[in-house]
Structure 1
Amino acid sequence: MSKEVKAWAATSPEKIEPSKITRRAPDDEDVAIDIKFAGICHSDIHTVRSEWENTEYPLVVGHEIAGVVSAVGKNVTKFKVGDRVGVGCMVNSCRKCDNCKEGEEQYCPNMVETYNAKDPKDGTITQGGYSQYVVVDQAFVLNIPQRLPLDKAAPLLCAGITVFSPLNHWKAGPGKRVGVIGLGGLGHVAVKIAKALEADVTVFSQTDSKKELALQFGADAYVATSDPKAFDKIGRKFDIILNTVSAKIPTEKYLSCLRRDGSLIQVGVPPEPIEIQPFSLLPQRNSIHGTLIGGIAETQKMLDLCAEKQIFPEIEVVPASYINEAYDRVVKSQVKFRFVIDASTI
């Protein structure tokens, strides 16, 4: 049967407050999850503040969900009660298109997001992880290995897979030189994962203020881009440059740092269009790519790697009552590096 649970919902673009929502009754393919932790992603803020699309209020956001299985449907084979599990940015897809068949469900034209989307199972609007409990089809639930603490696993379900997927797809590894633009919620995880893949890693940040942290996280080099001569000293050395920031960058300067066939990969979402001259790409067969999270199998691969290599995001655990203040701090870049909500406080 359906279940009413406590949650924190956006009732307007300005406010998130205590609420109650009804979760659908689990069907034969579903996993019911008691949520333990939910990460705060900048995407949550964009959605709550209706900066990306039409948001239907009231809305519970949160797509970095870590918890424990409390019940399973009769056809569920992947999970059992008591398992440690996670849910990321999607909760369903068509299962029939080429993208789905190839394990790239995130590119399915009918991919169902964890919140603010239409749930094909009951026609309601999906509600996210700032709540006590969630029901998800087993095909979109991830196993969280024992060596990953649940609070640190939560941000990996968006931030982690967002940076792992391009590093994995463009084959970051031994002998590859990777640049990471920004050392925020995405960037610091990218550095840790790229080093675990045995790539040579350079961090690009505006000032030297984060240099010590970057090196602590495993970076081999650091570039303070506010130095007018910073790019003159680099040359064409990078195979991959991963842009994790959501602000305008001097795109052509970064393209000038790529080796032949090198790629500038966009995962941050700046409001402005990306402007380039064709001759920034042609002479070295360079390219600019965009990428969106990862498929379920790839996300599991990322979680398993993070457990094996003990890759953890830097987090600040907060009570639900702190969400509105946390949002303001995220927007002002005053968090190092990810907020995680303790769901026991909801």
Structure 2
Amino acid sequence: MADSPEFTPAKNAATSGEFVRDATYINDRVVKGLEPGSDPVGDKIGEMRWPVEAGRYRLMAARACPWASRTIIVRRLMGLEDAISMGLAGPTHDVNSWTFDLDPDGKDPVTGLERLQTAYFNRIPDYPRGITVPALVDLPTKSVVTNAYQKLNFDLVTEWTDFHRDGAPDLYPEAHRDEIDELDSWIYPTINNGVYRSGFAAEQGAYEKAYDELWESMDRLEERLSTRRYLVGDTITAADIRLFTTLVRFDAVYHGHFKAGRNKITEMPALWGYLRDLFQTPGFGDTCDFPQIKEHYYAVHTDVNPTGVVPKGPNLAGLLTPHHREELGGSPFGDGTAPGPIGIESERVPAGHGAQ
């Protein structure tokens, strides 16, 4: 089954009943120092290097997916819209692929693709793994360059600097990289992936283990964020983006759908203030589409929600209420500036799909 990286059905769990994510990706990189227009360097897919080149690549994403949402946020904060175009798949898909059913005639307007699967097959015929988003596609060949989301985001920050907007933030500052990586070493398995380990567990023991680890880490973050505005340092970093895409989906999806319901984020003062602070920061909340998020989880995950009924709630207007986190010091962009309004109409979240 062609799954997005944010989920795999429970039937793919290990014999212990624990959800196991397939984390094998196409690990090619897009890097500085190569001649624009040149072929990739290297002779093994997954280890090749492609040139940084404006207009050559298209980011294929889906607002429903938290992994793709990270890349959407990074691209916007860095101001790479003119250098890297973006195609958006719809929130649901069949067993074969994400599809571009939001676009006229069901085709991505730049590549003409109906299915993201085609771009994978153009690179690796009969590609055997999940057709995942985000994926960076080479426009001349309409083939996937990479779907390794963490490396892709790192390269957008560190390799595409010639195309960053004025005032772009440093999301992975040298002085804090060890701390960012250390946080990710436990936030990813217990929270980002932990909600899926809870929701897709096939046995009670595996579920309870994932649930307990999730809430141990959430309590740890609640304490950490009670005295600091951001996870690391005094500005937004990659660590905040990685956590945000899980937190913003929590009350609407993970709390009930994934059986993660000890309490809601709205019931945790520090995390709730932190989430509102980020949501109201340009580049974060203005990229969130809640109807798409809910439709994806509740309609696609038939093992978890056999009826396919999508809930109307919860009321998310609280995300727009004052947070007062500025009293803790720091500022979102430090010496940089916020990105301006979203200039590409097709990339704007439709009215009524945010937290209004």
**TM-score, normalised with respect to structure 1:** 0.33
More helix by share: 2
